[in-house]
Structure 1
Amino acid sequence: MIPKARLGMLLALLAGQLALGSPRAAAHGGSADNLGGGLFVEGRHLFVAAWGYGLQILDITEPTSPRWTGAWNRRGAVNGVFVVGDHAYLANRVAGLEVLDVRDPQRPVSLAKLHTGGDAMAVLVQGDFAVLAEAKMANGHSVVPPPGEGLTLVDVANRSAPRLLGRYVGPNGDYGLPGGAEIPDVARLGRVVHENRGPLGAASAWHSAHRIVGWGMAGFHVVGDRLYSTSGRAGLRIYDVREPLGPVLLGELRTDFATYDVRVAGDFAYLMDAGADIHVVAVSNPQAPRVVGAFPSTGYTSRVLGLEPLPLAATTRPESASPGGPGGFGVLPVETAPPELRDPQRRTDGSFAFRLVGVPFATYVIQVTTDWQTWQNLGTNNLPANGHVLIEDASAVGVAERFYRAVRQPTPGN
């Protein structure tokens, strides 16, 4: 830990940079959202912090037809993502901060993880520092802490070894930092708690300062002089914020789904709903936004597993016994947990085997590819009560390179 005065100074320095993303700064030429929520656009890729589905990466080269590119998932609940160059920083709830190498978005690689002891809901990165917005648990729900609280500072100069510096709780719970610097409202957990819809909802502090949206605003993105906000069943609203204390509503899109977060790229807004589905909205005419595409959460997949080289020994490796609980896999995953492909085995005859782990009684299709463009179905599997099954691919004999993924199928009637 570092001294409180030093921590306050570091956060104050970050606060000055954070302000560029606020609606107030947008009126003076600033732009872009500044807190890693459920969505983040970097280049032609949309990064989705899809909770139990992990991090999912979509290619938005064709804006109205997002295409699955890659995934990273470890059992947890990825709630926030922030991308800087080749690195993605994940707020992974009680698992803390995860740092990924995403130079190849088809195959993200985990570099490090840091348990902070809190409930990481969102993340922001500036230079060598990451700020985690951490919620508190109350009556089984995550809630926004009092103003000025809940910020955790992490040194990420070494991406492979992030270091916890400390927490700032604010003097007497006020809105300021030592020396009079203000933490922008966005960084005060302005929109990171999607479970809570009460008077401590995600928009309370932000609304009181900027008078734009009502209680329960989930996410927003500032681009130039426009602010795009999501607010549960209120759908998408677009504001002119050239006068931040007197914003003008330009248009809105009412939806039959609860909106959680939004990112805008060019003439299109990408809405994430409460089920982690992505909806593409044309916003070139802000007075009449309209849905023009979608990517359902059923398209999210497991992390890709590559074919292993042939073993040098004359015998195959025995199946590994995974520790924990009935069936050897510990606590059974929640309904939204992504599938996992584990225990790869390249056998001496050239065949390949691995274990599919997922939600008991759910149906998954195993798909294979050699070029990352065309995925072919290898087989359909209904998982038993223990939540895992051995997958064997005899067609891998004689194949030098092949990649596998698991895709969950919709439940009948849903």
Structure 2
Amino acid sequence: MLKDIKSKTAILSLLLLLSLNFFLVFPLSGIDFVVIKCCGNCQSLSNDGSKPFDYNVNLLSTWSQNFGLVKELLLVEKELFLIGGDKEIFILNTTDLTYPKLLGSYHNNSGALTAVHHAGRLFLGLQNGLEILDVQNYSSIEQLAFYETAAVHALCLDNETLFLSRGSFGVEILNIANLSAITPISMISTAGEAHKIVLKNDCLFIADSVNGLEIYNVSNYHSPVKIANYTDGSAFFDLVVDEQFAYILDSSGNFKILNITDILAIKKISEMSFVHPQKLLVENGTVFLAVKEQVVLINCTDPLMPSQITMVNATSDIIALRKKNSCLFMSEKEGIEIVSLENFTSPEILSRFGYSDIEKVLIAGGYLYALMGEEGVAIIKATGHSILQAVSNYRTSGRIVDFCIAGRYLYLAVKDTGVEILDVLEPENPQKVGEYLSSGNASSLAIADNYLLLADGVAVKVITVADPSHPQEVAQYVRSLFIPDKVRFYEGKALVIDRDRMQVAILELTFSTATGPELLFSGMITGSQFIHFVDVAMQEHYIYLSTGNSLQVYDSQAVSINSPILTIEKGSYYALKITNNLLYAIGNQNFQILTITDLEQVNRTEFPLLGSFLVDIDVEKEYIVIGNFLAGDDLYLFNHTYPLAVEKRVWPYIVLPIGGVVGLAIPIVLIVRFRKKKTLHS
């Protein structure tokens, strides 16, 4: 009997300990958010000292149309190679000259200065040597060899022999028959810096900074022999050679033509002076001379009397030139231009790219849309959401300042005209299907059902787009001393910002079958002389305003709408996006995600993107796209996991402690009953 009592007591004690353990693991005071991790190099911060929300964000891919400083251009069939001084190589298909498509890119060892393409291989002259790439597969470029030497300024290839111009170190001749063991053959020492080199008929022509033009017989690679020299005391730096003439640029700004028919008696036959000429190109008796922001075309069919034909104006200083058929390709300080020269007297710009920075972004149906000002809209396919490939570009006669998308239609706000409507059912071939001409300067768009809201600096206009080919204005809102320049839409409300006057108007959009939609004013939020409203978003009856260095929250149902109910000063806030009870914001080098289900406990997680200046953000399902204004990647594509709703996280903290109480009550009841039975038996 005693043994039975002890065993029962032991069991009851064990149950008691287990129930107490429930209290230790699941305390009643533990109702709070749980942090799992923050992916990457992000830094988790919060506004009110509470824990940041549980969130996973992963960078999937980036996209850029900012090619950096392109030092050299190469044309191989329909491919255009952009050789960058910023350690990047880009390859574009030029089948459509109005919008070359990026085929591939490669990050090389150091800044490239020059390049030569031959038989599927790209030979790069770098700051620190020579790099040879296999470029037969543009999507998977591979390094074949690297040879360390001084900075390579120019290259010449002769079968399995390569000539390297190395500035003050002269010219080096290499045997590249075995790429795994590139071997030097010989050296040519020059008096000054060897700049441009040209190989023609076993002769190597060298543009030298001291000795002018030097010519070597290199029929024997192991023992080059100097056979001629021409100098007039100036430093030569660019050079083109044909059968009869050498075309020279010197550092004093002079363009010279030398007769080299008799190598032993070279003669200067003509000369023209320019201010800071940079590059020289010669084709069929026409010289193309890059002079600052212009290309001067010179007729040299009579080399004794060269004459200027015309000039092609560029956007910025020209760095490199190439010509193919009737098209001139120009690498400039700020981008690339392709110009048609079918009519020399009236050159026509076919395309300009790499100039504009990203201003706005959209994501819809597996495609990204990037607004780039004067360069129009780039449509980018996200293949598997890991590879971003531009598939088309759409430009207008004016500057596109905003856009929005609904279904198969993309709506463009064009500053000087109004609205253009594109059918993007086939993103590779967007088609204009309609337009709306506005009396003001279009600045912002928002779409709601079949109605388009347009802010044009004069009014907020409601335009029906039920028939996209014939958009019609059906209502407008005008207010004295209020210039609408940004508009957003949320559940029957138009949120309109006048950024200059630091005001936000809230307009009720009501629908009537008789009169159509009407905009009725319902409230105004006024900033101060220190606060400029940048963007606006709304959820339920709360209005969220970004001011750059803060986020302000207003209650549209409050008595005094001018007083924010919450101001968050940690972080930077420019563009806003609300979805799934989360507010996404970007500013400076950071994007942030804030939980706004409970404004008394706003949790903020911050993800820094160092070296960037973020300008816009959009969200679709689990994907986030962010636009960057500075050099580097133009677009960032992330995926993110949705955190569980607060209500779903609270139940373990309530149910489990209750279970612990029940678990504790059971052994107590058993003990009491056991003792009662014992007393009765006694």
TM-score by length of 2: 0.32
Identify, as 1 or 2, the structure richer in strand. 2
- Report which structure shows greater RCO (CA 8 Å, sep ≥6): 1
Question: Normalising to structure 1: TM-score of the pair?
Answer: 0.48
